[in-house]
Structure 1
Amino acid sequence: IDIAELELDSLRIHLSGDLLTTMPLHELLLSGLERIELLAGGGALHRLSPHNLREVGFAEGEEVLVQPAHAHPAYGLLQEYFAFPRKFQFFDLTGLRGLLGTGDGFSVRLVFNRSARVLSMLSADNFLLGCVPVVNLFPMTSEPIRLDRRRYEYPLVPDYQREVITEVHSVISVTASDPRAERPHFIPSVFAQSDSEDGASSNIFWAMRREMSIRKDINGTDVFLSFVDRSDVRTVPDEPIVFAQLLCTNRMLAEQISPGTRFFGEGVSTSTLIRTLYQPSAQRSPVMAAKALWSLVSLLRLNHRSLVDGTNGVHTLQQMLMLFAGDSARDQAQVRGIKSLTATVATARLGNDTWRGHCRGTDIVLEFDADAFVGTSPLVLAGVLSRFFSLYTAANSFVRLAVWRGGEPWMQWPALSGRQCLI
């Protein structure tokens, strides 16, 4: 195939390999890239800016974990970072349209402003194409729930035959069925009573409860479904049978898959090779302890200003991040490795056009303890926090985050407002 026929505008690259190699490489690409040289097919040389190498995993549509419609996207970023940091080890090389020339290939040279030990450890295997992060989630229809009116809640089971390896991740919708009715009756969630059209004309709602499984040979959690009316009184639908549309996981089964395991995709030719690059990350069950639940409720009182204001800013940030770090000693060490947070009021121009005026925002400077980031990088966490703060900031404002090391600037991200680059 002639590369001119591909009409490539961008190329997605995954930093593959051991984290002790890919994380220092990630740091170097963020903070030490001076320019990119593209040697096109036919011999033409094009110079690209470091800005042509875009971090991947932060934009809308690049999420891996499924989030409820009402969930704040800033928290989704934190969930994904602590669950699967490799998800952020992707870059897009952009601005390629019309530059690749002709022939069967082209070359890319990365020119850095300093030497680094990691450069001597690299090979072509550390830069892979055709990679994508995946998550063990799939849709299912639950087993029918027969409403015998003898209990106040009912077990929600995806598959009786495979219950040992099938667990409910989330409930998408619930319907009640009656053989004498023309169509099933949709039942809205209890949270739809006041803020959704789904609950506008319904007098019954479903609620879900989750608990750690105490059954022999079944890991993970069990889920139960109950029903209430508008007065929050326990009740059941008039229909005798209820179904639920679910998103499910395979409990702890997925983390037993070895690197290099081959998969077959639905609707994908069997000649297409799909395989795992790494051991899947361990499943994280939700924390059920009452103390943790109260801590989650405390997120509701947080806002952008409470996270960055005053001497308690770094402590407040660490407290919040610990909720996402869970029981992982490595992740907790990273959170404690945030040494300082300094926030100052800033002003920035809205784009390059002078008529657009200026905007007030916040400059945030973070410093980290490098010893807390063995096998990872403070710049990866800082990149996540840059987007987190920008999604958390007030309207008509911005956040510009920088990382300092040894009393000197190390890395600065552009001013961001929401998911948009301001300047």
Structure 2
Amino acid sequence: MGWKGSLAEVPLWFAGRLGPQPARSRNDAPRSILVLRPNDLGDLLTTTPIFEALRRRFPDARLVAGIGRWGRAIVENNPFVDEVLELDAPWHNKVVPDQSLGAALRFIRDCAQVRAARERGGFDVGIDVVGSHFGLLLMLRLGVRYRIGVRGYRGGWSGCHGHIRFSPMVHVSRAALAQAELLGAHDLPEARPQLYLTDFERAQAAHVWRSGAVAGRRPVRLLVGCAAGLPDKSWAPEALGEALGRVSRALAQAGGSDIVIVGGAAEKSCAQTVIEHSGAAAGIRSLAGQTPLRTTFALAEQADVVITNSSMLLHAAAAFRRPTVAVLGGTLGDARGHDSVWGYCAPYCSVGPENGKPYGRISGWPSIERVVQTILDKIAGHAVSAGPDRLSIGLN
């Protein structure tokens, strides 16, 4: 946060003192808690453990997820979320096109979503997970009486009653849990995304995966995300296609493979390029733009290995502890730095460029050979843990 952001903290400090204040004793359990996270899908996924932490601490409080309409699928069926409050805020996401200062202020002042939310009479507690000037103003506008934010990132902390300090080396899920700790939540779940599927959603995914078998062994299921939220974080589809083609050929003698590409409508052309460069024998299928987000989650749960860039799919796979290979490069030259904030413990692993550079500079990408070998190693490791009746893969 630069000097302009720091200067903005002065009026926000006054706004926080003049705004809604806690009307109940500090020892009283809150009746309602708003968790504000109207950001991208991966951001929201990393935040989901906070709802369980808050429920353990305040079993009778009404937990409200203040999220963009695009994120509803992530908290659907979550037993710890009582209500979804749609707030399509024009900041810190890639969905709302106009994210100017004027658009943000108009949203806070005039948006119908905000006006409707104000009619409920406010919230006892509000947590702005990302921590920003606009997030604070929105909490004030919504009548949040006790506010928690983040100091040292995007601002707004001076108008809050409590805050954590931003650190670029703390995992985003753990940082969200630290905000719950400010409310006395010390019985914490694992800092890992949470997704709750239905039996119907699982059945839909099972129908997508091929059920055929060779020599009594079913194909290895590989779920692939071919793009990231930012072009600089997306491995070239030509390289990804060649890598997947090599993996498919390596698995041909061991039951074969079922490789499925998922993504939004914007990834259709990217997925097609991947398929074109994989070779005709690879048999890769693309469901980009065709699969609801909840079905994508169920596909991830049933995949043997998930292959992705630094994207939402990485966090969805982590929710189910699926073996994952994240291909990192572009502006993510430091794989270890990335993983400390966005990665997870095994069976997740990442493959970064051989000669990484600091964040903010374009670096190279790992070689196709390294990515292919990492994927095959991950498949082999999963085959061992799954047992001989599940997978049997010989690598040459």
| TM tier, smaller | under 0.3
Name the structure where strand makes up a greater proportion of residues: 1
TM-score of the two chains, using structure 1 as the length reference: 0.22
